[in-house]
Chains A and B, each alone.
Chain A
């Protein structure tokens, strides 16, 4: 199995040492610094690789906070048609066939390093950003659904109806394919979190951790170093950016 890449470069070093210095100042100043981790006019960089660590032990079966938060964040409407309604994130309940051991985890786009959806997309609308976030460019998506056929995680949804009142940071419309975008608008603003992770923390579960897999000083990297974690369908060798602990 591939290990996530660790890159310690000048930029990340400066950033982390800068944060250390900042933390001694007033909290407001500290957040100001975080919010401008990357200037708005600078493109996403391959120095980062954003990902999630999901702890199955902390995730509770009757909690749906991440799903609700995601739907609210991205303005996902419920048309009452479960087979065609969009789901960026879903709660997956697992029961072991023999032992009956049961666990629950959130499932979403795994943001592979080698995504099959990007390989099969005829127009290149399905693409992977420099910082490892897999997105659909809805300006070039023709709605062929080949990416949905190829995704091993069933992470993608097709927009089956006309939409109105979309939220500004998540444009989405009929006839295109979409999936979890790792709250890319938050990432670009330097908020360093996702809607699901925020909601999970708020509920006190702390089961979802967002962070930079390429930054050895990030909390996610430290945890990945310390604990045994799993990639879903690691047999496919896709090197996912979403890792699970406790499955």
Chain B
């Protein structure tokens, strides 16, 4: 099915300049932090022999998860064939690639020996989930690049569905792989469970959607690409679905732990003991990251406004980040129980809650990853036509209407019989949806005047 959206190459503007500058300064901070840590060693960070993975890993996993999540928007259009998302397909794939690059760079630069990256890429222990992830991540890049090619090249548009399905399967596997990094650790009570994989998938969908919406909003304000109420409506629904999914799996995993007596210690530690993780779990993850966005999304006025949804998205991103922080750090902070029934004490912090105070270097390294993701995105939209000219209701509805047939197209269609069959079969439902859309739009504008921009 040919993509009929009108794409543009974004021209250099004030918004691009400002965000480019921010991205570059983030990259600068990240680079400074990397060089310092590489020279001095990791004692400058808050990480230690108890908390071995800290803030950089939270940043990295957040970005990797967001990367697989943003691709969901493209998947909805090409796998589940919901055409209103079609104009967002290219952006979605681009964001996936840029976020993954940003995340992986943080992960790599935090290694003790980043200079040995080549070892990691050539020597594999296939029992290690990290080794699988090397293939999952690099494969994801390749698959998404292929997906992009299919979307860009009009002749190959007909393959978008198939490649998109493959990319969707790959991203589910990828997030499973990311979740399994923790899920398969037998040593730590907090991680012991395959439920982490679906939790990470749900979180990726949520964070990816929120992130995508943030970009759409920025495009509307910064680049002047109007965002229609139809898209806002859809994103509101997606956010609600995904918030509930994450909430459900979170509850489920804690209930599982609460039922198993030996895990009571960790649950008490996390949920009730009143430490920083308790605060982050209840305050940041549950209230700010789950309850507040839901209140916004179910508020009559806010839920229909572009900025209302933006607030919800930012809260969701904050909640998702806190959630990863809680999962990654608290699981390490909770002491191992080597001798059940005994109180353990040693000079190596056995039996006591490990302390972790992230240092500025870790934060800068994380920002560096964000900066790289942003820089790739900004650069790409300025050299290739990733960005739809408009996302207002008329434009998104247009994406569903078959274009008037030109001579060129007629020739191409003659060449490919399959394509003709494809288009014919999908024409009737297309028309129905456009009619529906148009009537809805009319009703709305009659009801409320111009639909909510503010």
- Asked if A and B touch directly (CB within 8 angstroms), the answer is yes
Binding site for B on A (CB under 8 A): 79, 81-87, 90-98, 107, 116, 118-124, 140-146, 148-154, 156-162, 174-177, 232-233, 236, 247
26 CB-based A-B contacts, threshold 8 Å: A83-B50, A84-B48, A87-B347, A92-B338, A95-B345, A96-B343, A107-B338, A107-B350, A120-B127, A123-B124, A123-B125, A124-B125, A141-B113, A141-B116, A142-B112, A142-B113, A144-B120, A145-B112, A146-B128, A149-B52, A157-B49, A160-B42, A160-B48, A161-B40, A162-B41, A174-B41
Contact indicator A79/B120 (Cβ below 8 Å): no
Contact indicator B116/A91 (Cβ below 8 Å): no
Known: A81-B43, A143-B116. 6 other contacts (CB 8 A): A91-B346, A94-B345, A123-B125, A154-B50, A154-B336, A175-B111
Nearest-neighbor residue (CB-CB) of B348 within chain A? A90
Assign chain B's interface to a size class.
35 or more
Tell me if B188 counts as interface (CB < 8 A to partner A).
yes
Complex Cα–Cα for A143 and B114 (A): 8
Contact indicator B124/A124 (Cβ below 8 Å): yes
Contact indicator A148/B343 (Cβ below 8 Å): no
Q: Which residues of A contact B259 (CB under 8 A)?
A: none
Complex Cα–Cα for A91 and B346 (A): 6
Tell me if B187 counts as interface (CB < 8 A to partner A).
yes
Contact indicator B117/A79 (Cβ below 8 Å): no
Q: Which residues of A contact B181 (CB under 8 A)?
A: 146
Contact indicator B123/A148 (Cβ below 8 Å): no
Nearest-neighbor residue (CB-CB) of B335 within chain A? A154
Tell me if B257 counts as interface (CB < 8 A to partner A).
no
Contact of A158 among B49, B186, B344 (CB under 8 A): B49
Tell me if B29 counts as interface (CB < 8 A to partner A).
no
Contact indicator B49/A83 (Cβ below 8 Å): yes
Complex Cα–Cα for A163 and B388 (A): 55
Contact indicator B348/A175 (Cβ below 8 Å): no
Nearest-neighbor residue (CB-CB) of A79 within chain B? B43
Tell me if B383 counts as interface (CB < 8 A to partner A).
no
Q: Which residues of B contact A177 (CB under 8 A)?
A: 112
Q: Which residues of A contact B231 (CB under 8 A)?
A: none
Q: Which residues of B contact A146 (CB under 8 A)?
A: 128, 130, 181
Contact indicator B348/A122 (Cβ below 8 Å): no
B43, B181, B184, B355: residue with the most chain A Cβ atoms closer than 10 Å: B43
Q: Which residues of A contact B188 (CB under 8 A)?
A: 149
Tell me if B401 counts as interface (CB < 8 A to partner A).
no
Complex Cα–Cα for A92 and B351 (A): 10
Q: Which residues of A contact B341 (CB under 8 A)?
A: 96-98
Contact indicator A83/B349 (Cβ below 8 Å): yes
Tell me if B119 counts as interface (CB < 8 A to partner A).
yes
Contact indicator A123/B120 (Cβ below 8 Å): yes
Contact of B345 among A87, A92, A149, A247 (CB under 8 A): A92
Contact indicator B343/A159 (Cβ below 8 Å): no
Tell me if B53 counts as interface (CB < 8 A to partner A).
yes
- The smallest C-beta distance from A164 to any residue of chain B, in angstroms, reads 12
Contact indicator A116/B186 (Cβ below 8 Å): yes
Contact indicator A93/B345 (Cβ below 8 Å): yes
Contact indicator B41/A159 (Cβ below 8 Å): yes
Tell me if B131 counts as interface (CB < 8 A to partner A).
yes
With A122-B124, A140-B119, A142-B117: A94-B130 Cβ-Cβ less than 8 Å: no
Complex Cα–Cα for A81 and B47 (A): 12
Nearest-neighbor residue (CB-CB) of A100 within chain B? B343
Tell me if B134 counts as interface (CB < 8 A to partner A).
yes
Complex Cα–Cα for A118 and B349 (A): 24
Complex Cα–Cα for A174 and B44 (A): 13
- Flag B91-112 by CB within 8 Å of A: 1 or 0 each: 0000000000000000000011
Nearest-neighbor residue (CB-CB) of A230 within chain B? B339
Complex Cα–Cα for A149 and B182 (A): 9
Complex Cα–Cα for A86 and B40 (A): 16
With A93-B346, A175-B111: A148-B52 Cβ-Cβ less than 8 Å: yes
Complex Cα–Cα for A13 and B346 (A): 42
Contact indicator B349/A158 (Cβ below 8 Å): no
Complex Cα–Cα for A247 and B339 (A): 9
Tell me if B129 counts as interface (CB < 8 A to partner A).
yes
Contact indicator B112/A174 (Cβ below 8 Å): yes
Q: Which residues of A contact B119 (CB under 8 A)?
A: 123, 140, 142
Tell me if B185 counts as interface (CB < 8 A to partner A).
yes
- The smallest C-beta distance from B327 to any residue of chain A, in angstroms, reads 13
Tell me if B78 counts as interface (CB < 8 A to partner A).
no
Complex Cα–Cα for A81 and B119 (A): 30
Complex Cα–Cα for A161 and B50 (A): 16
A81, A144, A156, A232: residue with the most chain B Cβ atoms closer than 10 Å: A144
Tell me if B332 counts as interface (CB < 8 A to partner A).
yes
Nearest-neighbor residue (CB-CB) of A95 within chain B? B343
- The smallest C-beta distance from B335 to any residue of chain A, in angstroms, reads 9
- The smallest C-beta distance from B104 to any residue of chain A, in angstroms, reads 13
Complex Cα–Cα for A145 and B349 (A): 18
- The smallest C-beta distance from B348 to any residue of chain A, in angstroms, reads 4
Q: Which residues of B contact A175 (CB under 8 A)?
A: 41-42, 111-113
Complex Cα–Cα for A119 and B111 (A): 19
Q: Which residues of B contact A142 (CB under 8 A)?
A: 111-114, 116-117, 119-120
- The smallest C-beta distance from A47 to any residue of chain B, in angstroms, reads 25
Q: Which residues of A contact B342 (CB under 8 A)?
A: 94-97
- The smallest C-beta distance from A46 to any residue of chain B, in angstroms, reads 19
Q: Which residues of A contact B53 (CB under 8 A)?
A: 145, 149
